[in-house]
Amino acid sequence: MKLNLTNLRKIKTLDELEKLDIGPINVEVGHRGGHLGFRGEDVATAINVDASYLPKNYGAYCNYLGGGLRGAVCASGFDRAITGREAQLLNELAEACKRAYVNAEGPMNNEVDEDGEINWEAKGTNASRRAGIERAY
C-alpha cells in the first residue's frame, strides 16, 4: 500500500499497517499499557526526513494508570523542524497507529465480560480515555 494521507486515514488494524511496508512493527499491547509502531529510522526513510528528528520508535503508546486502568492512547511526537507534507504524513501515521493499537486491545475494552459480569477495568479505562487522561502523575 502506498504511503499517502488517503491510505493512512483508512487504516484501522495492524494488518493494514503492515501493508505500508515501512518496516517491522513493534507491538506490545497489554493490560498495563504498551506501544505499537515502527523504528524511527524506518519511518524517516519512508517519509524522507532526517532520522534525528524522530524518536527511536514512532507510533502510539498507552501508559498504565494503576489499579487496572490504562490511559489514553497517545501519538509519538517529532521535531518542529519537520513541516509541510512530511509533518502531515507523520501525524496521520501516528493516528493510524493509535487506531490499530485500540483495535489490537480488542476485548480488553468490552465493558461486559463474556460471562455477563461487569469489566470494571474496561469501564475505568474507557472513562479515563474519554476524559483524555494520559498518565497518573
Per-residue pLDDT, 126: 95
Question: Going residue by residue through the chain (137 aa), what tens digit of pLDDT does each one get?
Answer: 999 999 999 999 999 999 999 999 999 999 999 999 999 999 999 999 999 999 999 999 999 999 999 999 999 999 999 999 999 999 999 999 999 999 999 999 999 999 999 999 999 999 999 999 988 87
Domain boundaries, the chain: 5-130
What is the per-residue pLDDT for 135? Answer: 87
The Cα–Cα gap between 93 and 13 comes to 12
> What was the pLDDT predicted at 136?
84
pLDDT at 65: 94
Cα separation, 29 vs 88, in Å, equals 26
* The pLDDT of residue 120: 95
